[in-house]
Chains A and B, each alone.
Chain A
Amino acid sequence: MNKTRSKTPKESIKKHFLLFMGPVLAAFIIGFVWPFIQGIYLSFCKFRLIKDAEFIGFSNYGKAFSDASFRYSFDYTAVFAVVSLVLINVLAFTVAYILTQNIKGSNLFRTVFFMPNLIGGIVLGYIWAMIFDGILSRYSTSILLETKYGFWGLIILMIWQQVGYMMIIYIAGLQAVPDDMIEAASIDGASRSQILFRITIPNVMPSITICSFLGLTNGFKLFDQNLALTGGQPFIIQSDGSAIKTTEMMALNIFNTFYGSNKSATGVAQAKAVLFFILVAGLGLLQLAYTRKREVQQ
């Protein structure tokens, strides 16, 4: 029927480049490549509108580093990311460990724990704002009035949302631990805790690594929940008149610098965004290198 069929499939696929690659390439350039390149360039510029951008070198970066609210948001985000990472992972591992012990109702429990993961960040924020204010109003205070309420409130929210997600990854890891290994150990007289710490945990190390990095990057990139729960409140007014929002994380700080009242700070905001990107991408690359290394070892 078709004389060209003697060609290898690869050659004939190649001719359809525009059909197969065209739509994605066009959208990818519009939605990622071009904004990314432009974003890097604008971080070295002074501008209000993109068309009258003026190159000024590294001065935006200097301003970003000397911005007290940005430095504060970095510290706050880092502490938040580490605390939430530890709590979420310990809880998720515990739940996953119990659920893989053949207990009654484990399917139902799994369903319930995972459910909050599907609710969007903005909605989650308002649900928990109502709950926390319902509790705190009895003591005539509010989640918006104290930094520590905002901090721990967001931690509780993230635990509720993320434990189920991490649990799924841990369950997959735990189910892959060879049964005969555990059996052999228990025949040799190992106690339950010895089996847990000497056999189970070393065998699920890859899952622990994945979840740790996921937890860390999720913590750093958090935006919706932060915006909806406290929006950065309460403020501290500094001696120079500028305000620090004490529960504002990095992503929200960048957003507020872009779209806040100071319209001449867009360049600084873009510089902050580049620094933020380097930080998050660095964590991602670290994860990749680490998992690669482990794969070689095994």
Chain B
Amino acid sequence: MKKDIIRKTIYSVVLAFVCIIWVLPVLAVVINSFKVNTFVKTNTFDLPTGEMNAGFSNFVKGMTFGNYPFFKSVMYSVVITVLSVGLILLFTSMAAWYIARVDNMICKIVYFLCVFSMVVPFQMVMFTLSKTADKLKLNTPFTIPIVYLGFGAGLAIFMFVGFVKSIPLEIEEAAAIDGCGPIGTYFMVVVPMLKPTLISVGILELMWVWNDYLLPYLVLDINEYRTIPIHIQYLKGSYGTVDLGATMALILLSIIPVIIFYLACQKYIIKGVAAGAVKG
């Protein structure tokens, strides 16, 4: 028994040590965001003291850095993510319910195509998709969610159909006998039962859209509209020398909300990610 306690203590100590290493990269971002640019490369791992201390100047500079206001890219990222996730949750869950309940030939074909789309890498369709989106004027932050709905439908429908099939039909039949039509049944009976899956799918799609770089880069007019990942990529792309201090300040600003969101909804995030692990 005593041997067991020693072993577990050693495990804890080792993991605690690894955890510290795990946090170091984030810590490096924090200290370098307060450091004068020229010292970031030479004294990456030193605290920003004395002449290296830049105060908040990196953050101030970062706001207009890259000839594009940072708050605009935050705004576009939020708009695109919220609209896309909202559209995906509403329409794919409706379609999944229809597919699971009607289950005719068309439904089977659509379901097969959805599963198929999950194994198709984005590079396969990126050129033609961006041309199609351009032609249909889906190249603004307010219309690009339709593209996300199309390309993200596969995983969402796959997960929703799996869950709807596990709901007993009797509940919906009872609603129908009580005079509830399909629309009422869906929104008042099915949606409340779908809640856990809605959260899981919502989190997976949220992480995807928020962090996505290539799709908005190819579809949007990037002189006009930049999301946060595009903005950060462009800090490096547009100039020969990069202001690393200001870049780190922007990176810090962009990961703080993600970390807060993670700490607040950790339970759901981990559950959602585990549920989405079936994706190939």
Contacts and interface: CB of A to CB of B under 8 A. Distances in A.
Interface of A: 1-2, 5, 8-10, 12-17, 19-21, 23-25, 27-36, 38-39, 42, 50, 95, 98-99, 101-105, 108-123, 126-128, 130-131, 133-135, 137, 160, 165, 168-169, 172, 210, 213-214, 217, 220-221, 223-224, 227-228, 251, 254-255, 258, 266, 269-270, 273-274, 276-277, 280-281, 283-285, 287-288
30 contacts: A12-B176, A13-B101, A13-B102, A14-B104, A19-B183, A20-B94, A21-B94, A24-B92, A24-B149, A27-B87, A27-B91, A30-B136, A30-B146, A31-B146, A31-B148, A42-B127, A98-B11, A102-B8, A105-B15, A112-B23, A114-B270, A119-B211, A127-B26, A130-B29, A130-B32, A168-B277, A221-B121, A224-B229, A277-B123, A280-B121
Contacts of B25: 116, 127-128, 131, 160
A105 B181 contact: no
B32 A28 contact: no
B12 to A, nearest CB: 5
A117 B121 contact: no
B214 A103 contact: no
Contact of B179 (A1, A122, A172): A1
A138 to B, nearest CB: 9
Contacts of B121: 220-221, 251, 276-277, 280
A18 B131 CA distance: 27
Given A16-B182, A103-B15, A214-B280, 12 more contacts: A10-B102, A21-B99, A24-B95, A24-B149, A32-B129, A42-B128, A101-B11, A120-B228, A120-B229, A210-B277, A224-B214, A277-B120
A30 B139 CA distance: 13
Given A120-B210, A137-B41, A17 B98 contact: yes
Interface residues of B, number: 104
B157 A24 contact: yes
Nearest to A132: B44
Contacts of B120: 32, 36, 277, 280-281
Contacts, number: 285
Contact of A31 (B150, B211, B251, B270): B150
Interface in B133-180: 133, 136, 138, 146-151, 153-154, 157, 169, 172-173, 176-177, 179
Instruction: Please provide the 8 A-B residue pairs with the shortest distance between their CB atoms, ordered closest to farther.
Output: A31-B150, A134-B44, A120-B211, A284-B119, A284-B280, A27-B150, A35-B128, A20-B98
The prevalent SS among residues of A at the interface is helix
A258 B121 CA distance: 15
A220 to B, nearest CB: 8
B213 interface: yes
A289 to B, nearest CB: 12
Interface centre among B127, B207, B261 (most CB of A within 10 A): B127
B107 to A, nearest CB: 8
Contacts of A13: 97-98, 101-102, 182
B42 interface: yes
B112 to A, nearest CB: 12
A33 B102 CA distance: 22
Given A17-B98, A39-B127, A169 B150 contact: no
B138 to A, nearest CB: 7
Contacts of A214: 277, 280
Contacts of B255: 119, 123
B258 interface: yes
B113 interface: yes
Contacts of A269: 127
Interface string B22-43: 1101101100100000001110
B280 A217 contact: yes
A89 to B, nearest CB: 13
B132 interface: yes
B1 interface: no
Contacts of B149: 23-24, 27-28, 31
Nearest to B8: A103
Given A126-B251, A258-B126, A20 B95 contact: yes
Contact of B128 (A25, A50, A172, A217): A50
B262 A32 contact: no
B97 A20 contact: yes
Contacts of A169: 274, 277
A219 to B, nearest CB: 12
A258 B15 contact: no
B247 interface: yes
A113 B19 contact: yes
